[in-house]
Amino acid sequence: MAQPGLQHVDTVVIGAGHAGLAISRCLSDRNIDHVVLEKVDVANSWKTERWDSLRLLTPNWQSRLPGFAYDGDNPDGFMDVSEVIKFIEHYADVISAPVQTQTNVTSVCRAGDDYQIDTNNGTWRCRTVVVATGACNIANVPPLSASVPSAIDIVTPMDYQNPSQLREGGVLVVGASATGTQLADEIQRSGRPVTLAVGEHVRMPRMYRGQDIFRWMESTGVLDERYDEVDDINRARNVPSPQLAGSPERSTLDLNALTGIGVNIIGRLVGISDGKAQFSGSLRNNCALADLKMNRLLNTIDEWISENGLDNEVEPRHRFATTIVEDSPPLELGLNNKQIETIVWATGFHSDYSWLDVPVLDRKGNIRHDGGVVDSPGMYLMGMTFLRRRKSSFIHGAGDDAGELSDHLAAYLSNSISSAKTIQRNYSS
């Protein structure tokens, strides 16, 4: 007997961000009956979990999804938060995505060969499920945060809006990926002196040889490198986001630029004890490694330009100044002397799978998967870093991932139907 209020569908997609909507369009193209469940509204994370000045790292011309692309008058610009929200909302409307908003998923579990999705608005039964809730649900706050003196304010990028919410006085920004460098730049310009704790990072120029760096990375195929083509995919998925900003001026934001406006660059934070923060002595090595990897990328671009006979059509090759590091960066910073009033933890994010009652999580709480095909038949993952390609974490990367995963999903559904018919025939005979 059917359960009261139980709804059936072939596929449930959880999350109505750009990744969930991308696979929704691909499922519609394959005539797969599905629903997209969203706990609040379409593009909710962009509405509630982004700081005021944030812009996309990728230029507007690169903003494309299955059956949809940016068509505005500023292709080389960078969308701000409000524009990204409108872009994603418009996409949902254009593709007529079957989104059910204000629907919070409380549990996903197996129900025989199917999945059961419990929500605040009822229960769904489906043969396949796509987890598209994103990689940035919870800010990473290291355990040593517990040792921060109580007089110091603690802020994460999830609750940061703009410098005006911070107390006057010094700010320690921990982490030097895209988020950390952007916040360090903005806070320093607000008049609050910033110390930036730097560990492993990815340095990248905004412009090279007259083109945006993403133009070259797309042309050379760097962004299309597949997850099964790299030696260590787990490490590749944990590489920090590049030190880039989508500014209207298309300026480069690296450690040299930050030093130029007065930001104090220091090594990786390794401990807090007796009111003092301790930092690694690896700053120079980390910066040298970032410079080396940047130059390898530029070499790849130069080679592609030459192989395609474009040397005379673009600006000459050049290299950027090495990262400036003082001779003896301090290894300690007092936290009880009012020198630091606020600490911003720009130390990354992780996903929240507390509602997932299927044994697919590894010891670090990440979903086990092979290019988005989860270690549970009929379950798929979308919207994660380097899911199937290096570009997976960007808006335009979701399209190719969605196409391939929806093909796999469609084949799984077809095979399961065939198996069910075979079992039925055998039972009947």
* Angle, CA 103 vertex, CA 380 and CA 378 arms, to 5°: 20
Query: With DSSP H G I counted as helix, E B as strand and the rest as coil, what are the percentages for the chain, rounded to 5?
Result: 30, 20, 45
| pLDDT at residue 308 in the model | 98
| pLDDT at residue 424 in the model | 37
Q: Do domains 6-137+351-428 and 140-347 have the same CATH topology?
A: yes
| pLDDT at residue 429 in the model | 40
Q: Which CATH superfamily is domain 140-347 in?
A: FAD/NAD(P)-binding domain (3.50.50.60)
> Which numeric CATH code is attached to 6-137+351-428?
3.50.50.60
| pLDDT at residue 85 in the model | 97
| pLDDT at residue 188 in the model | 98
Domain boundaries, the chain: 6-137+351-428, 140-347
**What strands, in cross-sheet order, belong to the sheet with 269-273?**
269-273, 276-279, 332-334
| pLDDT at residue 426 in the model | 44
pLDDT tens for the chain, 429 residues: list them.
345 579 999 999 999 999 999 999 999 999 999 999 999 999 999 999 899 999 999 999 999 999 999 999 999 999 999 999 999 999 999 999 999 999 999 999 999 999 999 999 999 999 999 999 998 889 999 999 999 999 999 999 999 999 999 999 999 999 999 999 999 999 999 999 999 999 999 999 999 999 999 999 999 999 999 999 999 999 999 999 999 999 999 999 999 999 999 999 999 999 999 999 999 999 999 999 999 999 999 999 999 999 999 999 999 999 999 999 998 999 999 998 899 999 999 999 999 999 999 999 999 999 999 999 999 999 999 999 999 999 999 999 999 999 999 999 999 999 986 554 443 344 344
**132: number of CA atoms within 13 Å, CB side?**
33
Alpha carbons 51 and 44: distance in angstroms, whole number = 14
Q: Write down the pTM of the prediction.
A: 0.93
| pLDDT at residue 143 in the model | 95
| pLDDT at residue 3 in the model | 57
| pLDDT at residue 261 in the model | 98
Q: Looking at residue 230, what DSSP letter applies? A: S
- Alpha carbon separation from 242 to 55, 258, 379 (Å, rounded): 14, 15, 31
